[in-house]
Amino acid sequence: MNAARVCSWVLAASLPLSCASTTSNVEAVTHPNPEPRIILWARSALGGTQADGATLRELVAARRGATELPGGLFGRTQFTLRIGRVMQGAYEDKFVDVIVLGEAAHAVPEERDDHSDLDAFTGRWTLTRVDGRTFVVEDIENTPFPVGAVAHRDALRAKIAEGLASDDPTFRALALASLREHRMLEFVPQVAALLGSHAQPTKRPWLAQFDETIETLARRTLVHLIDGLADDNTPTFHDPPEDWQRWWDETMGAAT
């Protein structure tokens, strides 16, 4: 094993441990012709929770899976912002729900017990309406998050692709570990391909608390990747790779 290659892996962790529902009691104002885009200044964020599954599947399918969800143990995909002022567009509620994808998801800070991570949400947001009071943001420049938070995202994506394609179980394990922290959904098919008879049975004792085969690690990673996207047709943990690939293809083909 080339130690230098192993050490070159930088796994920028973002592992929130818990999240609570932050649904506001303030009713959204319904506009006859709601504007599709608004720019606002957020005073703070109330916290994060899981977005509606059907809405999230639709947004991911529209991108054919080429996007990222916030990582960590409990990936928060939707945040409620407290609005300071609306700078452009019409929006009369005091709160707005924002689904975070792509670069913005990569930059979501690690959840902290003192909620200081929510300070990063203060600032200017450019949001695209999904429906009612729910919006989506994807590009880092449309958030107040620092641009530097995504500086190494492309390099990490390339490392993950290289690791998943490698015959070396250590590099495969490193790639799967990265996907537990950065949920890049474009790699779902490659992770699914590691299931079943084609999975590598080599253990990785220095990367886990328990000895796991690459197949078991791939299954755990796959379940984590699609957390929040599952529906009644989602395969179970032990289902074969072809079932997972079929479900993913059907889900991604649902966009019209």
Structural domain of residue 233, as residue ranges?
152-252
Q: How many domains does the chain have?
A: 2
pLDDT for 188 equals: 96
Spatial distance between the Cα atoms of 214 and 176, rounded to a whole number of angstroms: 9
Residue 49 bridge partners (DSSP): 78
User: Do residues 99 and 78 make contact, with C-beta atoms less than 8 angstroms apart?
Assistant: yes
pLDDT for 13 equals: 37
Average pLDDT over residues 218-243: 92
Are 133 and 166 in the same domain? no
Confidence of residue 75 (pLDDT cuts 50, 70, 90): low
User: Do residues 98 and 81 make contact, with C-beta atoms less than 8 angstroms apart?
Assistant: yes
pTM: 0.79
Are 47 and 142 in the same domain? yes
Residue-wise pLDDT tens digits, 172-196: 999 999 998 899 999 999 999 998 7
| pLDDT > 70 fraction of the chain, expressed in percent and rounded | 75
- How confident is the prediction for the chain on average, in pLDDT? 81
Are 144 and 246 in the same domain? no
Average pLDDT over residues 233-250: 92
Which of 93 and 21 is assigned the larger pLDDT?
93
pLDDT for 253 equals: 87
Are 107 and 195 in the same domain? no
pLDDT for 82 equals: 93
218: its two tokens: 């791939």
Residue 37 has a CB neighbour count (10 Å cut-off) of 12
Q: What element of type H or E holds 16?
A: none
Are 42 and 140 in the same domain? yes
